[in-house]
Amino acid sequence: MLKYNVDIYTENYLLSTIRYPLMRRILYIQIFLSFIILFIGIISFLKFQDDRIIFERIIAQEDDISTINNNSLLLLQNNNQTELSIYNKNIIIVQLLANQLETKLNKSAATLELASEFPQIKALPNASLINPSFHGIPKDADMEKRQVAQNFLSIDKDFGRIFYLMPNDDMYFEEPFSVQENLTRDNFAFRDYYKGAVSTGDTYLGNVIISASSGLPQVNIAIPLYSSANGSKNNNTENLIGLLIGDQDIPSINNFLQSLPLSENETAVYVDNNGQIIASSSSLSPPLSSPIISNQGQSSADDGDCNISSLQSFKDVIADKSGYNIENINDKEMLILYAPVKFKSTIWGVLFFSPLSNDNNNKSIT
């Protein structure tokens, strides 16, 4: 009897020496990565605060024609002093807005790339767990992967959800699970973020789409995952095991732009490379429309007012140019300054609209 108890004790001890150190190592790794994510978040927050202070100082300054630099004079040599002062103040704001969004996107991509390196995420998914009635795997299936997504969502509030797609772009899981339950389709091979990530073999930023679960606009960052047999990302679709994707919190970007102390006649917008507005500093009804995005992710021109994608300023910024144009919008002359927002192979833009007339009845653009 004593020998039997000793044997049981010895067996339990050996199991604990194997199991618990492994669990501790996993815990330590998760804590370490949490600190890295927190550090990235703090750096991004501090940069955001610095940029915001600069925004407020520039916006608060009086229009002083003496501050205009030679480049501005050359660019606007045929225009009056009002246009010169508007340009001189706002061109700095436009560049800061571009830098701010680039920083936010790169921070989110770095966070998601960290998540993609977890062993639980790199492990092969179990396709047999997929149940069409759940639009993916059940809530309690493959909890190792789900737990990683839940942890990162709790740490990084810039993500509204994180999901995992199979190589054929069937939904595997989505967190929160409540969002997965509300999906209206199971395959997303038509999405630009899937096509972009698979074709480039790299982290890819998609354009604005309408969510199949919420019906709201969203922007996704997608990371292709490859088998450990061949970690090469040279468009090797044979080794693709899935995609890890996180959607950006668009309301927070809108809130940031709308918190800027701009005049009622000035409007700043972020646009994707289809001309779809991502966020706007104005919450008023738009005299200038953006393309209508269908649930298939395709743009179609609005039959109403002037369309952003038809503006020369939009065409210039998507061509990776910075500058300005004076364009007529709804029979009003507008000074439009622009700067590109670059993320790997994707180019978005910042457009800043200022009316050239002193008519206070001019409405903002969204």
Q: What is the DSSP string of 21-42?
A: HHHHHHHHHHHHHHHHHHHHHH
Q: Please give the pLDDT value at position 27.
A: 58
Residue-level pLDDT, tens digit, the chain, 366 residues: 444 444 444 445 444 444 455 455 555 555 655 565 555 555 445 444 444 554 554 444 434 333 333 444 444 445 555 556 666 778 888 999 999 999 999 999 999 999 999 999 999 999 999 999 999 999 999 999 999 999 999 888 889 899 999 999 899 999 999 999 988 888 898 999 999 999 999 999 999 887 766 667 889 999 999 987 654 445 567 789 999 999 988 888 888 898 888 888 889 999 999 999 999 988 753 445 454 333 444 444 444 455 888 999 999 999 999 999 999 888 888 889 999 999 988 999 999 998 876 544 433 344
Separation CA 269–CA 172 (nearest Å):
34
Q: Please give the pLDDT value at position 356.
A: 78
Q: What is the pTM of this model?
A: 0.73
Q: Please give the pLDDT value at position 364.
A: 39
For residue 357 the two structure tokens come to 């007339």
What count of other Cβ atoms lies within 10 Å of the Cβ of residue 13? 10
> Is 321 exposed, middle or buried (CB count within 10 Å of its CB: 0-12, 13-18, 19+)?
middle
Look-up of token digits 């339950």 = 181
What count of other Cβ atoms lies within 10 Å of the Cβ of residue 319? 11
Q: Please give the pLDDT value at position 28.
A: 56
Separation CA 37–CA 22 (nearest Å):
23
Q: Please give the pLDDT value at position 39.
A: 56
Separation CA 229–CA 232 (nearest Å):
9
- The fourth-level CATH superfamily of domain 118-248 is PAS domain (3.30.450.20)
Strands annotated E in 211-309: 217-226, 240-248, 267-271, 277-280, 292-293, 299-300
Q: Please give the pLDDT value at position 3.
A: 43
Q: Please give the pLDDT value at position 4.
A: 42
Q: Please give the pLDDT value at position 272.
A: 93
- Tens digit of each residue's pLDDT (9 = 90 or more) over 333-357: 888 999 999 998 899 999 999 887 6
